[in-house]
Every structure is written in C-alpha cells, then in structure tokens.
Structure 1
C-alpha cells in the first residue's frame, strides 16, 4: 500500500508520472517477444523506440487531466473525450501510427480511479490504497463502460474493433468494462509472485508479460496472425511459464527464442504490452514506488 498523496506532488501529477513511468518501463523491457524495445523494432517496420518516446511525451498532460476528472466524479463521457483528444495528440506525434491507443484507455481509467480514491480521502493526512480499492473505484463507471463496449459505430474500421467482431474477442473496451481483470487477476499476481521470490523488477515484468500473453485474446495478434497466430502466442508463453519463467536458468534464451519466432511470423502482442504497462502502473500506485 502507498500514500494517496505526498506533500511534494499533487495527486494528478503523481498519477501522470506513474503512468508515464509505467509506459517507459514497458518500452525498456527486453527480451519482449515481437514488441518494440530499445534493442530492436520487434515485428514492426513502421515504428521504433523513438516513435514510442514521441508518443509518451504527447501524453504527459492527459494522465493528469483524467486523474483530475476522476477526482471530480466526472461521467465516463468526459473521460472518453479526454481519451479521444489524447489519441489525436498521439497520432499527431507519431505521424498517424498507433503506439498507445490501448494504453490510453486502460491507464487512463486507472488514473481516473486513482483520482476518485484521492477525492474520497480528501482531508486525510495519510490515506492508503490497495489493488482492491483501486479496482473497486473503476466500478464508478461500470454501467457507462458496459455501454461503451458496443458503442463503436457499424462503420468503425480500427483494427481492434474489426478483429474483436470477427473473432469475438473483447479487446480493451471489454477489459475496461470488466474492471481490468487481466491486470488484477493475471498480470499483477504474476509480477508480485516473482518479486516475493526475491527476483528483480525486470524478471517480475517478464513473468507478468508472459502470463498475460498466455491468457488474453490479443486483438493485435489476431489482426496479424489470425486464430493460429493467437494460439502460437499463447502456447509459446505457456511453455515459457511451465519451464519456470524467469526463475529458469535459461529464461533469457527462451525469451529470445520466442522473440525470434514472433518476429519471423510478424506477431506483436501489443495488447499484452498495454496490459503490462497497466500492471506496472497498479504496482507503482499500490507500493509507494517513486514516480
């Protein structure tokens, strides 16, 4: 648990720094199968680490603004508008490349929930937050989020929307409506188990990423590789976990082999990467990590 506010930083600035730090941590992680890192571009020819850094910079005010909106008990329509504006800024910064659309949605919701909790504890000298309280705060927008799942117009053409329809996959919208279960029930427990075993944060993030890849229906993977590609990602991730994950002596070689395999098939589990960033954000919010 961690203090909801510190004397040095306003809650909205704190939330924004944690969110940007979580996205930066995801970018820095390696080996990260099929995904962009500082080492290489993974399965992508249209983006690199510099693209992600421009995107990150464009979002620096968004996470603070949506945290303030959460504190003001704003309806989901306001949160959605903030997210839409953030997406436009992201696309302008990247030349039209979608680097963080899913993260804008999931991390934005978490920052709004954090703001909601901060407002609920206004006036308290020291208040605490845990993962259950943070997830509970997401239910403030449950009904509106549920409606948002089916809100895309028939002509919507984003990859996530089209793939979700074709493969009956939920995507970021459904994940948000359900209170981010993959973050709180898969990613966060995996990360904390590894930390509890005395391993490094890098190892914990690797294990969280592979746990997410083994579990979710990733619309990014479905778009690029169809059902067969999605099954390959899940089975490869499950094999890594079954072999001991980051605790295995050869974990790095196994992760690199998965990276080469995914690059060869042009598979990029971007949905898992977004949820890893959300997991990192929840860990920071609930552990007192320095922003």
Structure 2
C-alpha cells in the first residue's frame, strides 16, 4: 500500500509539471501561428500570399508550427528542475535538432522555422526554470529572457559543424544573428518589439496593426541575417529605412503609413528579400507577451504557467 501511495503521489506531483510543458508547447506554437497570420507583413508570408518566398505559404507555416509543438513541450520537460548549464544546453540542442527534422519532414524540406526553434525554444526553457525559481527583483519577461540567455551562452559540444546560411552571413558581415540575439537576452524582442506592441495597443489601434508595428520596430533595429543572405546590405538598408518611414508616419494603420508600407514592400520584393529574422522575433515578442501580460510581475496571480 505504501509503495502504491508513493507512486500515486509522484504521479500527482508530475501532472502539473507535465501540464506546464504542454501549455508552454501550445503557447509557443500559437505564437508562431499568430506571427504567420499577422497581415500585412512586408515581403513575408501572410494571409495575402507568399511574399518573397517561393517555397513557403501560410498553410505550410501552420503545418510547421504544429509539428513543433511536441518539441517545445519536450524542451520544457528537459528544463524541469535544472539550472543553466552546459549539460542542459546540450540536451536542449539535441531536442531542437530533432524538432528541426520534424519541421523539415512536415514541410517537405522547406525551412519555415529553424531560427524560431532556437529563439523560442530557449524562451520555453527560460519560462520553465523561471516558474520554479522566480526572483522578485526581476520582471517575468526579464527573468525568462535572462535565463534563456544564460543557457545560450554555454557551448553545445554535440552540435555538428554547420555551414549554414546564417553562419556564412555572420562571418561575411560581422553580425550576430539569432545566436547573439539569444546570448544578449533577446533585446529586440524584450526592449524593442514588446514595448512597441504595447505602445501601439495604448494608442488604440487594432491588435493586427499593433503586431505589424511591433514587427516594423524590430526591423528598424535588427541586422537581419535573412535579409543579408538574400540580398546583402541594400536589402537591410531598405528594410530599416522603410520600416522607420512607416512608423514615422503614424504606423501601419494610418493612410500615410500604409503608403510608406507599400513602398517598403515593393522595395523588398524587387530585391527578393524578406525580414525573416524580424518575423522570428515578432513570434518571440508575442510569446513573451502571453507569458508576461502588461503590468504583471512575479507576484501577480496571472503568472500561471
């Protein structure tokens, strides 16, 4: 009887933890789907079409996101009871690579969310550890990003030597890419995208327009390796200057801003370039926003992950 009672207790204790992993997996997937549906996005896949992409569309982006839900849940389970360490980094890396294979299988080889697996996967792990070790002096969002950054700073010795588009762009142009974004605490999500999203909401624009304005804000600051890979510095300059023009004219919801947006998109399509890195960080922004609602802190009952 005592053995059975002990086993029952362990199962009861494990259930909330597994529920947390499933919930984080679902929230991460929802953030990817919400990013894909945000419309209009300049030269990116959205509800209007494929943007500058020949091998991606909205249905495929959704399929990719849903294929990754078990991966995000697994990343949360791996972080349970852990602290940032090389061992955790290696385990998360192995899970992430398996998730990438699942994504590529779901999309017949199209890279829909490789960068997002890294960015949001680390945030999932950070949220899991934060839920167990919340520090009152930090906001929820800052704590999650800080923990994710601490994990990202450890090397993954199990990772294969990669000759990826991102690694070539980083070497050629001296930019940090998704790796540095994570290691520095996701600044373009935490300090650019999230404030822009919430400021737009306070102005009373629609949620869709608020998300687009957050994306544009990220674009003004980010050295987007996707743009650099596809068309080099001219594409990055067009994206930064064009996004700033939209925001300077009141954002994507104003007539003047919409005209500037059309010019921005035309420029990017002419270069066959799209801001995929900024899109990943918009998804990260939406994920953080769900985990840490405006005004929430570590003692707020709305923290229920």
Instruction: Report matched runs for 1:1-291 at 5 Å.
Output: 10-73=19-82, 75-120=88-133, 130-141=140-151, 143-144=153-154, 147=155, 156-246=162-252, 248-287=254-293
Q: Which runs of 5+ in 2 are unaligned?
A: 1-15, 294-301
Moved more, 29-38 or 67-76: 67-76
* Count of residue correspondences: 276
Following TM superposition, the consecutive aligned residue runs of length 4 or more in structure 1 with deviations greater than 6 angstroms are 150-153
Deviation at 1:152, TM superposition (A): 7.6
Moved more, 233-242 or 9-18: 9-18
Question: 1:24-49: per-residue Cα shift (whole Å, max 9, x none)?
Answer: 11111111001011211000111111
d(CA) in 2 for partners of 1:237, 1:289: 33
SS at match of 2:23: helix
Higher relative contact order (CA 8 A, sep 6+): 1
* Structure 1 equivalent of residue 13 of structure 2: none
RMSD: 2.6
**Residues 33 and 259 in structure 1, CA contact (< 8 A), matched pair in contact too:** yes
**Residues 246 and 258 in structure 2, CA contact (< 8 A), matched pair in contact too:** no
**Residues 89 and 152 in structure 2, CA contact (< 8 A), matched pair in contact too:** no
Q: Which runs of 5+ in 1 are unaligned?
A: 1-6, 122-127
Q: TM-score, normalised by structure 2?
A: 0.83
Question: 1:120-139: per-residue Cα shift (whole Å, max 9, x none)?
Answer: 26xxxxxx962122223224
Deviation at 1:247, TM superposition (A): 5.3
